Chain A
């Protein structure tokens, strides 16, 4: 039966080519625009650590002693003392400090390449297992390296390609701001979306958050060693009074360190919350801090709090869906016109014994076929749209691809939209009474 309906639908589409083309075009453009923006949204709002994100938390303590109305939320980062206290307490299953020094000049002494300016991250040994960072060669450093301020480094696959043509560079030496460091690990290509561990201060960005989706750093080195090697090159998140020497932030009245913890059970989460609150009260008792607000957000809450998805991306998505809605209204109107114009033909079929249901099914088949063809062209348009997005200079451009699930969504959406558009006209068409139409023939 379906093949017969399909055949009828094809004939009907061929009969009025302009109207068919208009409907297919409307659905194709609507689907193309929606899928382009939906894919970008899908890429940017996804979970960068699927499976573990609910066990990863970002800790905040309000250590800024300045009075004022800004103490509803603790600052996004911590000072050296608080961060070190909490990290040293080892109350979580895993914990990692993160600090961004200014980029440094990096060269490999036994490679004839000009030095490169490379962005780096100073962190602690748990960073790699905690965030499931994939390694190609070697491994991360050990807690012992953290303690001993070992001059070791893990490099990104990008940097490894640039300096060592992608070979196994474990054990080789890099010179970083005049200090020699030994490579202990090389990452696989790793492109979390966003590099969540660097996300902070989103509420001050006013929705202009595309920069959160940049590439991960090229160098990862232990904080303990970095504090010596990069001394004077650290960047504060905020200070409540002038640091004695700019860039020297250990024991300065500045926030500049982030603390991530992994807590494997709800009981541990509750215990850690209690621990944070206790720490804040204790420090207030000691007179070191004045406010006792603390926060412990899980990874996805932290990303949501920082409103990481750029608001222009959201706006484009809503626009695209508004566009799709108008295309839908339009298709409903055109299908209605089309089906009712064929009142005579439908009347004959009804008189020859076709049930209302059969007429309805046949009309829907035709609408679905339009949807499928529209979806196909919409898919091509979405590919074109994504190609255009990739050629923009947004930091997330290289991330944007149509994966298999979004490919499926394209066709499901196109056919669903066209069936929705076709339902009402089909219903009207199926209600045509045979007798009345036959009379006018």
Chain B
């Protein structure tokens, strides 16, 4: 097989070859970046939260007629007792914000009480004594809150001093690099002593690549149901829906007029799926578009190769007549396609990096990792070989006698 001959022959179809090279280059560049985008979306969708999501359900209750704070708090305690008594529920608690929920609250955290000290906005959770157990958080160092450390919501907002805090490990490492954060003091609601560090705790909403997703802290607050959501820990994930149903009934059975609806009740797993719905849709769209692009490229290769075969029937016949085997003819077309694809891939890689640079500017994406390029190359080489196989076999089937016929 003489590559020189193939190159020479290709040189006589510069326009068609150029078109194919461009088409392959362009789809190589787009597909590489699409794969990369799919990868980043999948990575985002699978970010761990540090919470044992399979075992947690939430039920929100909207208060319709505001009662006195004392009455609301008493109702909350009754509710919690009822929820904890449900079969298959091991813990229940009120938390200020839930993962993948609508509300996020941040506070500025700094390392000194000087108002001029630089501060960092950190997502915060307020919740009752069972919060850490309900969520299945893991302690990295220090301790959990003590029962006597819980304060009321109004006391915390009113600036009760010395409320302890538990922070996420990422936040601890950011604030106190290389040291144990337990026992240190941060300034959020006045001076707060860090009593514990949890392995992982994240912001309720994942805002993307902005960073700080895993900076979070929790405060020991006895919240009334009107300021938060009921979270429950379910022993058996298979019974989560059943537990939600029972919880709604239990909450409806007693208490003042309240809005209790399955609309505000969900498993954390379902909340995650809903939260990342757009990312999933986008990933599927990218998969679909990439497949279609490859299909269109393959059709283009089939179309042009068939045309070439048709055009060269006599030439093939002559070659067959002077001794070339069917195999020679087939490998000729395959080698030709390989060369064209290689040209396209080389150009495509440059283009892929160009597109990546634009995406980086507008989408806060990282650099296209190097391994996307060999993946893209292999995909297009294989695609090219598959697409050219039909026309190449048809070329190989041209009988030598064609050489004598047409002239």
Asked whether, in the complex, the Cβ of A333 is within 8 Å of the Cβ of B304, the reply is: yes
Please tell me if B300 contacts chain A, counting CB pairs below 8 Å. yes
Which one of A33, A206, A325, A340 contacts B364 once the chains associate, using CB atoms below 8 Å? A206
**Binary interface encoding of chain B residues 13-54 relative to chain A, with 1 for a CB under 8 A from any of its CBs, else 0:** 001100110110011001000100100000000000000000
User: Chain B's nearest CB lies how many Å from the CB of A254?
Assistant: 13
Which one of A67, A334, A340, A428 contacts B303 once the chains associate, using CB atoms below 8 Å? A334
Quick one: closest A residue to B37, CB to CB? A315
CA–CA, A326 to B383, complex, Å?
Answer: 15
CA–CA, A137 to B136, complex, Å?
Answer: 57
Cβ of A208: which chain B residues have Cβ within 8 Å of it? 207-208, 278
Quick one: closest B residue to A30, CB to CB? B296
B271-304 at interface with A (beta carbon < 8 Å): 278, 281-282, 285-286, 289, 292-293, 296-297, 299-300, 303-304
CA–CA, A340 to B310, complex, Å?
Answer: 11
Q: Is the interface on chain B under 10, 10 to 19, 20 to 34, or 35 or more residues?
A: 35 or more
Cβ of A341: which chain B residues have Cβ within 8 Å of it? 307, 310-311
Quick one: closest A residue to B301, CB to CB? A333
CA–CA, A314 to B282, complex, Å?
Answer: 12
User: Chain B's nearest CB lies how many Å from the CB of A156?
Assistant: 23
Which one of A206, A316, A327, A337 contacts B307 once the chains associate, using CB atoms below 8 Å? A337
Stretch from B113-121, B229-237, B240-248, B325-333 contacting the other chain = B113-121
Asked whether, in the complex, the Cβ of B119 is within 8 Å of the Cβ of A327, the reply is: no
Chain B interface secondary structure, helix, strand, loop or mixed?
Answer: helix
CA–CA, A316 to B281, complex, Å?
Answer: 11
**Binary interface encoding of chain A residues 230-259 relative to chain B, with 1 for a CB under 8 A from any of its CBs, else 0:** 000000000000100010000000000000
CA–CA, A274 to B159, complex, Å?
Answer: 40
User: Chain A's nearest CB lies how many Å from the CB of B164?
Assistant: 18
CA–CA, A325 to B26, complex, Å?
Answer: 8
Quick one: closest A residue to B117, CB to CB? A67
Asked whether, in the complex, the Cβ of A326 is within 8 Å of the Cβ of B297, the reply is: yes
Please tell me if B238 contacts chain A, counting CB pairs below 8 Å. no
Cβ of B278: which chain A residues have Cβ within 8 Å of it? 208, 210, 312
Please tell me if A35 contacts chain B, counting CB pairs below 8 Å. no
Asked whether, in the complex, the Cβ of B27 is within 8 Å of the Cβ of A326, the reply is: yes
Quick one: closest A residue to B64, CB to CB? A105
Please tell me if A108 contacts chain B, counting CB pairs below 8 Å. no
Please tell me if B362 contacts chain A, counting CB pairs below 8 Å. yes
**Residues of chain A at the chain B interface (Cβ within 8 Å):** 19, 22, 26, 29, 33, 66-68, 105, 204-208, 210, 242, 246, 311-312, 314-316, 319, 322-323, 325-327, 329-330, 332-334, 336-337, 340-341, 392, 424, 428
**Residues of chain B at the chain A interface (Cβ within 8 Å):** 15-16, 19-20, 22-23, 26-27, 30, 34, 37, 64, 108, 115-116, 118-119, 157, 159, 189, 207-210, 278, 281-282, 285-286, 289, 292-293, 296-297, 299-300, 303-304, 306-307, 310-311, 362-364
